[in-house]
Structure 1
Amino acid sequence: MLSELQQRNLAVVFGLVDANRDGLLTSADLDVFVGRLIDRLDLQPTSPALEYLLVAFAQWWRQICVQAGVDTRGAVTLAQYVDGVDRGLREDPDFLVEVGVLVDVLYADAVRPPDTVLGLAGMVAVCDAFGLPEPVAATLFEQLDEDGDGKVGQPEVRAAVRRVFLG
Structure 2
Amino acid sequence: MLNDLQQRKLAHLFTLLDVDDDGTVDKMDYTASADRLVNAFGFAPGSTESRRVRDRYARLWDEVTLPMDADGDERVELEEFVAGFHRFVTQPEAGYHTHVAPVADAFYDLMDTDGDGRITRTEYLRMAASAFRMSEANAAAAFERLDLDGNGSLSRQELHVANEQFFRSPDEECHGNWLFGPLPARG
How high is the TM-score relative to the length of structure 1? 0.88
SS at match of 1:101: helix
SS at match of 1:112: coil
Q: Answer yes or no: is 1:103 the counterpart of 2:104.
A: yes
Residues 116-147 of structure 1 deviation map (CA, whole Å, 9 limit, x = unaligned): 21111111111121211222222111111111
The Cα of 1:29 is off from its aligned counterpart by 2.2
Report the equivalent of 2:155.
Answer: 153
- Aligned counterparts of 2:90 and 2:120: Cα–Cα separation in 1: 34
- Aligned counterparts of 2:17 and 2:128: Cα–Cα separation in 1: 13
Identity of aligned residues (%): 26
> How is 1:116-127 mapped onto 2 (pairs within 5 angstroms)?
116-127=117-128
- Aligned counterparts of 1:122 and 1:39: Cα–Cα separation in 2: 13
Provide closer, same or farther for how the CA distance between residues 4 and 64 of structure 1 changes in structure 2, counting only shifts above 3 A.
Answer: same
27-36 or 130-139: bigger deviation: 27-36
User: How many aligned residue pairs are there?
Assistant: 166
Residues 14-58 of structure 1 deviation map (CA, whole Å, 9 limit, x = unaligned): 111111211111122222222222222222245322121111111
* Matching residue within 140, 147, 153 for 2:142: 140
Assess if the C-alpha contact under 8 Å between 1:65 and 1:76 holds in 2. yes
Report the equivalent of 1:84.
Answer: 84
Assess if the C-alpha contact under 8 Å between 1:68 and 1:83 holds in 2. no
42-51 or 119-128: bigger deviation: 42-51
RMSD (CA atoms): 1.9
The Cα of 1:156 is off from its aligned counterpart by 0.5
The Cα of 1:109 is off from its aligned counterpart by 1.3
SS at match of 2:22: coil
Provide closer, same or farther for how the CA distance between residues 102 and 89 of structure 1 changes in structure 2, counting only shifts above 3 A.
Answer: closer
Residues 91-135 of structure 1 deviation map (CA, whole Å, 9 limit, x = unaligned): 644322231111111111111225321111111111121211222
The Cα of 1:89 is off from its aligned counterpart by 3.6
Assess if the C-alpha contact under 8 Å between 2:39 and 2:45 holds in 1. no
Report the equivalent of 1:14.
Answer: 14
Assess if the C-alpha contact under 8 Å between 2:125 and 2:136 holds in 1. yes
How high is the TM-score relative to the length of structure 2? 0.80
Structure 2 gap ranges (5+): 170-187
Structure 1 gap ranges (5+): none
- Aligned counterparts of 2:93 and 2:141: Cα–Cα separation in 1: 31
The one-letter code of the counterpart of 1:22 is D
Report the equivalent of 1:35.
Answer: 35
